[in-house]
């Protein structure tokens, strides 16, 4: 069973709080694509996509989709005043030059040191790594949005990733359906807990040790 839409929206809402005025932000497919719907009013933010857009807005209303306007995952988007279009070579050039302030990606696993594994499960056919390798290496800040456990209930936050890595020590923040962690100096810190989960529940479903802030914030909505 997939993650409830309410949970996905809550995670996207929390990630949106990390966005600051003037940022250029790249969004991965899946839950990250929901982030523009939760952006604070009045922020001057340009959302970037590898297929060649800067200046994406929120999700269009049903029936108002433009079949020629989509994000890198192929889902319909809107554009803001000042948006621009270009080929994917320019889009990747922006990433490789370090012009992306923040990237928000999904992941299969993250290690306590911030290693990222988000592109392949061995034995399953995939089209390729896409832009994740470049974003992991060059974005100034990287946030991961993912479920806390996989479909079998196994932890996705681990001492060491067991799946092929995308990049080493690149993740700054992890937002799951249960909690919010930061990676600081190769150590994992629990910062916030989503209701109704407890610290014991989070510890039991996390595959590594983590430090706990003196004051852990409880997120109720």
Domain membership of residue 181 (yes or no) is: no
Domain membership of residue 221 (yes or no) is: no
Read off the pLDDT of residues 14-67 as tens digits, 9 standing for 90 and up.
999 999 999 999 998 889 988 988 998 888 999 999 999 999 887 899 999 998
Domain membership of residue 149 (yes or no) is: yes
Read off the pLDDT of residues 58-88 as tens digits, 9 standing for 90 and up.
789 999 999 888 888 788 889 988 999 999 9
How far apart CA 70 and CA 91 sit, in angstroms, is 14
Sheet of strand 53-56, all strands in order from the earlier edge strand to the far edge: 79-85, 53-56, 46-49, 24-27, 102-105, 142-145, 173-175, 179-184, 187-194, 211-219
Read off the pLDDT of residues 144-183 as tens digits, 9 standing for 90 and up.
999 999 999 999 999 999 999 999 999 999 999 999 999 9
Domain count of the fold of the chain? 1
Coil/strand/helix, residue 163: coil
State the catalytic residue, choosing from 50, 61, 67, 192: 50
How far apart CA 50 and CA 132 sit, in angstroms, is 10
The answer, yes or no, to whether the previous bond of 128 is cis (omega within 30 of 0) is no
Domain membership of residue 220 (yes or no) is: no
Name the CA dihedral angle for 116, 122, 128, 131, rounded to a multiple of 10 degrees.
0
Tell me the residue range of the domain where 20 lies: 5-173
Read off the pLDDT of residues 114-130 as tens digits, 9 standing for 90 and up.
999 999 988 887 767 77
CATH of the domain at 19: 3.40.1080.10
Domain membership of residue 101 (yes or no) is: yes
Confidence of residue 131 (pLDDT cuts 50, 70, 90): confident
Domain membership of residue 45 (yes or no) is: yes
Domain membership of residue 135 (yes or no) is: yes
Domain membership of residue 73 (yes or no) is: yes
Token readout for 116 is 């990222």
Token readout for 120 is 């392949």
Residue 6 annotated in active site: no
Q: Please report the pLDDT score of residue 29 as a whole number.
A: 85
């Amino acid at each position: 069973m997939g993650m409830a839409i309410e949970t996905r929206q809550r995670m996207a809402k929390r990630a949106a709080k990390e966005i600051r005025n003037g940022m250029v932000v790249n969004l991965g497919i899946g839950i990250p694509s929901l982030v523009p719907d939760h952006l604070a009013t009045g922020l001057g933010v340009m959302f970037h996509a590898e297929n060649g857009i800067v200046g994406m807005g929120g999700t269009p209303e049903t029936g108002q989709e433009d079949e020629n306007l989509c994000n890198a995952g192929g889902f319909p988007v809107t554009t803001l005043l000042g948006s621009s279009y270009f080929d994917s070579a320019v889009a990747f050039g922006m990433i490789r030059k370090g012009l992306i302030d923040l990237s928000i990606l999904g992941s299969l696993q993250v290690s306590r040191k911030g290693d990222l594994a988000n592109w392949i499960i061995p034995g399953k056919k995939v089209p390729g790594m896409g832009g994740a390798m470049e974003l992991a290496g060059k974005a100034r800040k990287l946030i991961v949005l993912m479920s806390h456990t996989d479909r079998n209930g196994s932890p996705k936050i681990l001492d060491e990733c067991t799946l092929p890595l995308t990049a080493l020590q690149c993740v700054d923040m992890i937002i799951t359906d249960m909690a919010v962690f930061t990676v600081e100096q190769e150590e994992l810190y629990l910062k916030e807990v989503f209701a109704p989960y407890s610290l014991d529940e989070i510890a039991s479903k996390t595959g590594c040790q983590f430090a706990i802030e003196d004051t852990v914030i409880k997120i109720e909505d």
